[in-house]
Amino acid sequence: MFWRNSYQDLFWKNVLLMPKFLLYLLIGTDTWTQPQIQLAATSVNRKAPKRTAPAAEPVEPTAAPSDVPEHAPYLLIGGGTASFAAARSIRARDPGARVLIVTEESDLPYMRPPLSKELWFSDDPKAIETLRFKQWNGKERSIYFQPPSFYVSPADLAKVENGGVAVLTGRKVVHMDVRGNKVKLSDGAEISYEKCLIATGGVPRNLQVIDRAGEEVMKRTTLFRKIEDFRSLEKISREVKSITIIGGGFLGSELACALGRRSTDIGLEVIQMFPEKGNMGKVLPEYLSNWTTEKVRKEGVSVITDALVKNVTYKNDKLEIKLKDGRLTDHIVAAVGLEPSMELAKSAGLEVDSDFGGYRVNAELQARSNIWVAGDAACFYDINLGRRRVEHHDHAVVSGRLAGENMTGAIKPYWHQSMFWSDLGPDVGYEAIGIVDSSLPTVGVFAKATAKDTPKAATEQSGTGIRSESETEAVAGALKAETTATPPPIQQEEDYGKGVIFYLRDQVVVGIVLWNVFNRMPIARKIIKDGEQHADLNEVAKLFNIHED
Ligand SMILES: *[C@@H]1O[C@H](CO)[C@@H](O)[C@H](O)[C@H]1NC(C)=O
Ligand SMILES: *[C@@H]1O[C@H](CO)[C@@H](O)[C@H](O)[C@H]1NC(C)=O
Ligand SMILES: CC(=O)N[C@H]1CO[C@H](CO)[C@@H](O)[C@@H]1O
């Protein structure tokens, strides 16, 4: 066992890169959204984020205005993961509930993570159409949470005997009348509600230098978030010679690796650039971030670190990206974070958090009476860690579920801390909880990994394909931390096979990364919940039994 903290980098010179780490860096964000930590030193346009190529054409409404129900007991605005999780928990607690989801997207609710990971690695060429993917455990599933047959039609919502969930697609709520308990859609239709959830998520940010570079540049830029973005980038990757990903966070690194993986087969140049020193430099301590960057390079990606994009111009059918010097490319993917959608703040009289963005809600995710907010758009009060806004898949699941429970009258002031994970292919991965910000002091304790310490082995064992424990409610009661494990002899060669990294604020552990250590999240959760100061984190690390095998 060895340990290191973020200020002591003596070990690094000797680090051996483990050969078994291969293939694809599916840095699997469970966010499928961009972590806010990606807001890097690059100047980012926080104001009007724009959708880009392919231009977001207005979605065909699937229901005629007359199909819009006049009333929905439970109205959920937004059709993403948080909304779906809320619908599910509402129906679980109130089996006859009538739930209406209104979404701008043309699709039924789906999970975003596979759009930047599994779907790129499918053997089945039809996956681009079917949106079915193989989970680590080998089972296939669709990115849609439920098939169309699960939903009732909006027009029938009031009539169906046992209630149900209806989805109005391609519709946008533009105004809320909080006193009148009703909302207005862009086509003028009105829907009254008893309880309302705002889960509007956000839109990808763009770089200012791209935003102002004109139409030809915008046409060749992807801001990645939706099914249509996945399909269009996939097509573009087969048509152009060079793609540049701007952004070093989860989404950027995932897409870089996904594209890098195919680059040699199809003669595609894949460049990734970002202002940090290494991939995921805003999350991982520098030595691990450096290590990860080497992994990404091995995937065939030209990673340019410390890169500030000064200007982007279009000439001779190419984009020129000006850094200190210039880089030519055919297409840009800007993966520089998410701007929460706050359009309803004014009409609903909701407070927007000036530090984190998002609607300010209390620990029960309530914004006003009868109005809740969940997912990316919620700036909530975390009883342990203070005010936060989190853009991860698991957070959408957890917060949507909690809001749904509270909407059905459960008195649940209890906050289940969400986690997120990120996989470097089937053999390396990590899970994280709490505030994992590389600017905090960290202490890492590492041991040698074995074949069992892989994301693949972990999901095979747990039987869950998407490694989000909150989907299945991990049994924290089963946790038995063993404090008696004796530390093994100090290793001769340091590597980052597996380990635990603690993030500290005022000497209290506020975040934990489990690096190739799986199914121990309940232990991490408890340490964060306890919020105690620890004199010796090596002792705390023993709780994770990283040497047992
Ligand atoms: C930046 O690019 C724009 C065109 O996109 C061009 O008009 C402008 O002169 C460039 N600025 C610099 C400093 O190169
Ligand atoms: C990380 O890599 C950079 C070079 O890209 C190097 O300057 C730095 O010292 C490395 N940091 C650590 C902790 O190894
Ligand atoms: C409708 C409802 O049950 N709301 C509850 C949500 O949670 C808070 C805190 O526990 C309660 O005070 C509310 O009554």
- CB-count exposure of residue 153 (10 Å: 0-12, 13-18, 19+): middle
What confidence score (pLDDT) does residue 8 get?
A: 41
| CA of 406, closest atom in ligand 3 | 6
What confidence score (pLDDT) does residue 261 get?
A: 86
Residue 52 is which amino acid? T
Q: Over the stretch 137-146, which tens digit does the pLDDT of each residue have?
A: 778 899 999 9
Residue whose CA is closest, atom 5 of ligand 1? 213
Answer yes or no: is the C-beta of 279 below 6 A from any ligand 2 atom: no
What is 316-382 written as a DSSP string?
A: TTEEEEESSSEEEESEEEE---EEE--TTHHHHTPPBPTTT-SEE--TT-EEETTEEE-GGGEEEEE
Buried residues in 127-151 as b, exposed as e (16+ CB within 10 A): beeebbbbbbbeeebebbbbeeeeb
What confidence score (pLDDT) does residue 213 get?
A: 94
Rounded Cα distance, 427 and 497, in Å: 10
The residue to which tokens 């041991």 are assigned: 447
| CA of 217, closest atom in ligand 1 | 5
Residue whose CA is closest, atom 9 of ligand 3? 413
The ligand that comes nearest to the alpha carbon of residue 294 is: 2
Angle of the 250-266 helix axis to the 227-239 helix axis, nearest 10:
30
The ligand that comes nearest to the alpha carbon of residue 304 is: 2
Residue 172 is which amino acid? K
| Of residues 404, 423, 430, 224, the one with CA closest to residue 331 | 224
The residue to which tokens 């903290």 are assigned: 5
Residue whose CA is closest, atom 2 of ligand 3? 409
Domains (ranges, CATH) in the chain?
Answer: 2-27+420-544 (3.30.390.30), 44-50+206-336 (3.50.50.60), 65-110+145-202+341-407 (3.50.50.60)
Residue whose CA is closest, atom 14 of ligand 1? 311
Q: How far is the CA of 206 from the centre of ligand 1 (A)?
A: 17
The ligand that comes nearest to the alpha carbon of residue 414 is: 3
Torsions phi, psi of 178, nearest 5?
-70, -35
- Ramachandran assignment for 349, one of left (phi > 0), alpha (psi -120 to 50 degrees), beta (any other): left
For residues 537 and 546, the answer to whether their CB atoms sit within 8 Å is no
Per-residue tens of pLDDT for the chain, all 549 residues: 555 655 443 333 222 222 223 222 333 333 333 333 333 333 444 434 444 444 444 444 554 556 899 999 999 999 999 999 999 999 999 999 999 999 999 999 999 989 988 898 888 889 999 999 887 677 889 999 999 999 999 999 999 999 999 999 999 999 999 999 999 999 999 999 999 999 999 999 999 999 999 999 999 999 999 999 999 999 999 999 999 999 999 899 989 988 998 888 889 999 999 999 999 999 999 998 998 898 889 889 999 999 999 999 999 899 999 887 778 999 999 999 999 999 999 999 999 999 999 999 998 899 998 999 999 999 999 888 889 999 999 999 999 999 999 999 877 656 778 888 776 555 567 889 999 999 999 999 988 766 666 666 655 554 444 555 453 443 333 333 333 333 333 343 457 778 999 999 988 999 999 988 888 899 999 999 998 888 889 889 989 988 765
For residues 401 and 85, the answer to whether their CB atoms sit within 8 Å is yes
Q: What is the 3-state secondary structure (H, E, C) of 47-66?
A: CCCCCCCCCCCCCCCCCCHH
Q: How far is the CA of 76 from the centre of ligand 3 (A)?
A: 18
- CB-count exposure of residue 192 (10 Å: 0-12, 13-18, 19+): middle
Collect all residues with Cβ–Cβ distance below 8 Å to 140 and sequence separation of at least 6.
Answer: 132, 133, 134
Answer yes or no: is the C-beta of 311 below 6 A from any ligand 1 atom: yes
What confidence score (pLDDT) does residue 125 get?
A: 86
Q: Over the stretch 111-139, which tens digit does the pLDDT of each residue have?
A: 998 998 889 888 888 999 999 988 767 78
Q: Which two tokens stand for residue 475?
A: 């049994």
The residue to which tokens 């680090």 are assigned: 15
Q: How far is the CA of 349 from the centre of ligand 2 (A)?
A: 48
Give the Å distances, CA to CA, from 336 to 39, 332, 355, 493.
Answer: 6, 12, 18, 36
Answer yes or no: is the C-beta of 305 below 6 A from any ligand 2 atom: yes
Q: Could you tell me where the DSSP H helices lie in 212-272? A: 215-219, 227-239, 250-266
Pairing of strands 206-207, 386-388: unpaired
The residue to which tokens 């459960």 are assigned: 410
What is 150-219 written as a DSSP string?
A: GSBPGGGTTTSTT-EEEEETT--EEEEETTTTEEEETTS-EEEEEEEEE---EEE-EEHHHHTS-HHHHH
Q: How far is the CA of 1 from the centre of ligand 3 (A)?
A: 47
Question: How many residues does this entry show for the chain?
Answer: 549
The residue to which tokens 């202490």 are assigned: 443
What is 485-497 written as a DSSP string?
A: PPPPPPPSS---S
Q: Over the stretch 296-332, which tens digit does the pLDDT of each residue have?
A: 898 899 999 999 999 999 998 999 998 877 789 999 9
List beta partners, residue 75.
100, 196
| Of residues 418, 384, 389, 391, the one with CA closest to residue 402 | 418
Task: DSSP letter for 117, please.
Answer: T
